[in-house]
Chain A
Amino acid sequence: MRKNAGLQIFAWIVFAFLIVPLIIIVVTSFGTNSTIQFPIKGFTFDWYGKVFNNESFMNSFYLSLEIAFIATVLALVVGIPAAYSLARHKVFGRNWIKSFFLSPTIVPGLVVGYAVYQFIVIQFQFPIFQGLLLGHFLICIPYVIRVVGSTIEQLDFSIEEVSWTLGCTKLQTFIKVVLPNITSGIFASFMLAFINSFNNIPVSQFLSGPGVTMLPTNLMNYIEYNYDPSVSALSVVLMLGTIVLMFIIEKTLGLTSIS
């Protein structure tokens, strides 16, 4: 009933700016020409076939999934107890410790990767895989501390006290009462950490070696020397992955919970 035409036009131009470039990629992935063209001539699914038959892409895809998953789980395992401790206990230097856990977000990703590479891989001769895993653990941990922490802070403390009066130990209470009530926070932080780890480039940039290259890094290296629609096709595959994740988040938590 109360609309503002000027504002509406402005906003939709911005939405177009956000979405049209990605739509262009989708279109170019079906072109028959061996370099990217827009508008396309002809129509083919060949480039998708090329992507799925490219062993290097597929290997780095599996590696990315593996690293993102393990790093996220590791971050949850050490992060949930830490977030609980920070939310519930009068820990000495609480705010400092919290900032410390969030500090990987202040250090630029490329610097994190560079430092981990220099120290862990070069100095201590860890395999690159372990270095990558640790680097990505550092990406994940702030999400867990922040999201799970705020969920615990919103949880009514008296339900834990009730549980103690009913004879549960602190550990039993944590498992039977606290955890079931923060599953949405845990799931949200899992999603956020996983997506950010999977998509991250700067941290992985230094941490790559023979047979150990993350998918985004691999794609980036490929783009520097190639300009064919298989890049578009792979991009579309990644976007489909994003859509699936967004759909899962929307159906479970609602998209607003991660923004």
Chain B
Amino acid sequence: MSYVELNDIRVSYDNKTDILKDLNLSIEKGELVSLLGPSGCGKTTTLRVIAGLIEPNDGEFIVDGKNLTKVPVYKREFGMVFQSYALFPHLTIKENIAFGLKLRKEKKSSIDKKVKDILAITGLGELGDRYPKQLSGGQRQRVALARALVIEPKLLLLDEPLSNLDAKLRVAMRIEIKRIQSQLGITSVFVTHDQEECFSISDKVAVMNKGIIEQFDTPEEIYKNPKSEFVARFIGFENFFDLTPIEKGKYKTVDGTTFLSTRQWEPGKHIGTIRPDDIDIVSNTESTATNTVSGTIKVRTFLGKSYQYEIETSIGALLVNEVDDVIYQVGDTVTLMIPAHKLIIV
């Protein structure tokens, strides 16, 4: 049995449409698991069920062998970092952090020490006597984290904690969160819609869509082997085309060309997908060889390190990123190579 278990969790506000549909998720001790998905996919709802802010209609929630489904939020002893940080504006940074400890009726000396330690760990050192309004976004973020960590939570919950920061700070803070999380070994659940952020920080990722988990794997596995069209689209596979299976690893396109794929395949799946980076422009003539398709360049965009071409082909429009020195012109006819080891069937 895993440290944290969500078993057949169902949430519905009106009992007609389900926000979460019989969701299952297992998290091991010390892991940082991300819930990734577009807005409305149910990731925040899942986190709020874990926190105890929403009571699920069905299902059970277990931590460390104890069923917490009906335990109210304030008795769960989880630390939560909110998207808005939710710092108490009427309290100083120290008072904000000590809030949870005071409720636990700890001794003043013990509280002082813990607050001091966590201020040091989160790099807030001298800011303890300021008020939230006097801090920058990044500093507030650290306070929110410190306040959640200081109660030594069984579980750390982070609800899109980086979405209110600018791009540079976001990268710095996610490294910081990862550092503190692994230093303290706290089991964590992180909600985000940003796949780069998610991949860089997580031990495991649950990609969510419409109230279900589409894929739960390590970041590498999800990046390389998306299991569904939704997951593929969400993590940057931009080319999709229909294929007809002939035998294992062999397909035909709509115009009859043979495509081979060395990647794993499950029965019933028949959509080929590949990242723009993985397609090569092999010649400027037409060809019908295996794993190739020809087309006309419609749009050329300069991306910096490469050019992106939008190419109209017989299997549909394809996006191709090319770093080659050869620069093609709009209107050119080209042949594209879709490598068998990069072609994924979803």
Which A residues lie at the B interface, using CB under 8 A?
1-2
Contacts and interface: CB of A to CB of B under 8 A. Distances in A.
Contacts of A2: 53
Interface in B1-56: 13, 53-55
A2 B48 CA distance: 12
A1 B13 CA distance: 8
Range of interface residues on B (Cβ < 8 Å): under 10
A1 B55 CA distance: 8
Q: Is the interface of B mostly helix, strand, loop or mixed?
A: loop
Nearest to A2: B53
Contacts, number: 4
Contacts of B53: 2
A1 B56 CA distance: 10
Contacts of B13: 1
Q: Is the interface of A mostly helix, strand, loop or mixed?
A: loop
Nearest to B11: A1
A2 B54 CA distance: 8
B267 to A, nearest CB: 41
A5 to B, nearest CB: 14
4 contacts: A1-B13, A1-B54, A1-B55, A2-B53
B86 to A, nearest CB: 16
Contacts of A1: 13, 54-55
Nearest to B53: A2
B160 to A, nearest CB: 21
B216 to A, nearest CB: 27
A118 to B, nearest CB: 48
B44 to A, nearest CB: 15
B49 to A, nearest CB: 11
A2 B53 CA distance: 8
A1 to B, nearest CB: 7
A20 B54 CA distance: 36
A152 B200 CA distance: 48
A1 B14 CA distance: 10
Nearest to B13: A1
A52 B210 CA distance: 63
A4 to B, nearest CB: 12
A113 B13 CA distance: 56
Interface in B138-174: none
A168 B54 CA distance: 57
B39 to A, nearest CB: 20
B240 to A, nearest CB: 39
A2 B49 CA distance: 12
B70 to A, nearest CB: 14
A2 B13 CA distance: 12
Nearest to B54: A1
A211 B233 CA distance: 81
A36 B55 CA distance: 52
**Shortest 4 CB-CB distances between A and B: which pairs?**
A1-B54, A1-B55, A1-B13, A2-B53
A48 B13 CA distance: 48
A173 B54 CA distance: 53
B74 to A, nearest CB: 12
A178 B55 CA distance: 50
Contacts of B54: 1
B218 to A, nearest CB: 34
A2 B55 CA distance: 9
A15 to B, nearest CB: 25
A59 B54 CA distance: 60
A143 B32 CA distance: 56
A2 to B, nearest CB: 8
A148 to B, nearest CB: 31
B18 to A, nearest CB: 14
A1 B57 CA distance: 10
A215 to B, nearest CB: 46
A6 to B, nearest CB: 15
Interface in B230-282: none
A59 to B, nearest CB: 55
B57 to A, nearest CB: 10
Interface in B190-213: none
A1 B54 CA distance: 7
B20 to A, nearest CB: 13
A1 B49 CA distance: 12
Interface in B284-336: none
B10 to A, nearest CB: 14
A161 to B, nearest CB: 31
B28 to A, nearest CB: 30
A1 B11 CA distance: 11
A215 B116 CA distance: 68
A2 B52 CA distance: 10
A1 B45 CA distance: 13
A225 B55 CA distance: 61
A1 B48 CA distance: 13
Nearest to B72: A2
